Chains A and B, each alone.
Chain A
């Protein structure tokens, strides 16, 4: 039963090895990747089912006794994150079949994406701090490879920015891990939960906690450490940008949630206040920067930043309801954001450009695409009854309930400004008359094949379903929030199972 934990990591790795060794042609390697995605989705689904039955699952790798060995742990949060990863992975794999060029495939697009997925799932499932660092390095390595695959002309300098910033964050991460090990003598997160409280030198613990916060703040693009993200994401191929936009920053958010609910809760007044200030500034900075952009992908990139602010705000408020809101927000945001980047690619296909000034009239010519944009865009902006409305409502409600009126008001205002950006894309790309062609760099390809439209519509359907059937999702998220706020269940499962 507990072996289910290893499947979401192992399956993509096996698929990666197969796709490297088999040397299949384009169509077949695409089909293999989709097949791998389906298997991954099944494994994640079973994992979630098992977690619903048993609350917390633990697997000790190599059967080393606790707490010396490395364990994989799945609680509600981890299982939900793994499931959502596999949904996005599958959608992106289906989309890639038509979008990825021969050169990109030859430079290892599929194996790298599979390794990336394995590493992301590893980061979600690990129960060991050093192991988390290793998964983060794997994520980085795979994402570096994807970023500069094929002929990366024109995006080398943006890759340099991404690489240097992320290397810096891993240095902070390992620095903090060294300090924490020196203070407590353990790196198992459940073990740390007990030992961190016993350390006499609380100042040093807080120092290490802040180093970790900085490392993950760079990864999750929090203010004022987000500048690598808008410099990078708009240069990536569409499926890659969608996967990165959906998943990469969210791994950082997940690590923040895990560490600042389980381990570093000794000085909440300080750490979570800093998180709250950062979250509020992130929301405002992201949405303000997005308002001034005219390139679809840049607008969407800046909105990632502002949305990450909401999730961290939920963590900073630090009540079960707020954490439940964060989880709902994570699920909602990953689906919607990945979907919007895919739609951005389709818009580029239909009009030949990512620049809003050069497009128009899509509502007339591409009805289905309009629907495909409308649902995720206005879910992102928080229109009822779509998923974003509930996510925003939960976060704002939790803020007000806990007495944080100012961040709550800011969150609501940022929501309004998000509507402004989405309406800008909607009117420019879909409603206004088609602009005269001004030497557009790529010729429009016209019709959109079903293989590209399919994943977009499926993710739209998911957004609508989550919005309409909010009750079970909310119940699940509330249990997850309780689990995070009182981690005794997690700790007992890990410590008792060794």
Chain B
């Protein structure tokens, strides 16, 4: 199971990097999202995959009875998901505004490379 997940993480990372290397910024967003998921999967796998009980202490007991699942990776992943979500949201809005202003999201195009502010635009036309 670990080997399978490791390969999946590798595949997702490769695909993510392929997307992120593109000059089209929308692809960067997809790549970034994919990469975030790959990393979450990696943390999950790094926390060891076991079939075990949830880490809850039974009523009346003072400690855990048997082997339980590792709760820390889940907490880490949850944090990473929340932060990743916020970052992607911000990135999307930033790209939307950029497209609004330059008319392109292709980082290799002239309109993107030589962005001018609206005030200058008014002066030139």
Footprint of B on A, CB under 8 Å?
130, 134, 137, 140-141, 144, 148, 151-160, 163-164, 167-168, 170-171, 174-175, 177-179, 181-183
Contacts and interface: CB of A to CB of B under 8 A. Distances in A.
A153 B117 contact: yes
Given A156-B101, A167-B91, A178 B42 contact: yes
A159 B76 CA distance: 28
Given A178-B42, A181-B47, A154 B91 contact: no
Interface of B: 20, 25, 28, 32, 35-36, 39, 42-43, 45-47, 72-73, 76, 79-80, 83, 86-87, 90-91, 94-95, 97-98, 101-102, 107, 112-113, 115-120
A377 B97 CA distance: 38
Contact of B94 (A141, A159, A183): A159
Nearest to B102: A157
Given A168-B20, A178-B43, A181-B73, A157 B98 contact: yes
B94 A181 contact: no
Given A156-B98, A157-B112, A171 B118 contact: no
A154 B120 contact: yes
B32 to A, nearest CB: 6
Contact of B76 (A151, A155, A164, A181): A181
Given A153-B118, A154-B116, A171 B47 contact: no
A181 B72 CA distance: 10
Given A157-B115, A163-B91, A134 B98 contact: no
Given A140-B87, A160-B25, A179-B46, 5 more contacts: A148-B94, A157-B98, A160-B95, A163-B94, A171-B39
> Helix, strand, loop or mixed for chain B's interface?
helix
A134 B42 contact: no
B52 to A, nearest CB: 16
12 contacts: A130-B79, A137-B87, A153-B119, A157-B113, A159-B94, A160-B98, A167-B87, A168-B20, A174-B39, A181-B73, A182-B42, A183-B46
A440 to B, nearest CB: 13
B32 A163 contact: no
Given A148-B94, A153-B118, A163-B90, A182 B46 contact: yes
Contacts, number: 87
A168 B35 CA distance: 9
A182 B2 CA distance: 12
A171 B88 CA distance: 12
Contact of A178 (B39, B113, B118): B39
A164 B94 CA distance: 11
A175 B43 CA distance: 8
Contacts of A171: 32, 35-36, 39
Nearest to A166: B87
A154 B76 CA distance: 38
A404 to B, nearest CB: 35
A241 to B, nearest CB: 17
Nearest to A153: B117
Nearest to B88: A167
A182 B44 CA distance: 9
A234 to B, nearest CB: 13
Contact of A160 (B39, B47, B94): B94
A136 to B, nearest CB: 10
Return the 7 tightest CB-CB contacts between A and B, nearest first. A182-B46, A154-B117, A153-B117, A178-B43, A157-B115, A153-B118, A178-B42
Among A148, A178, A183, max chain B CB count under 10 A is at A178
A181 B70 CA distance: 12
Nearest to B101: A156
A155 B98 CA distance: 9
A154 B94 contact: no
A403 B74 CA distance: 48
B40 to A, nearest CB: 8
Nearest to A151: B118
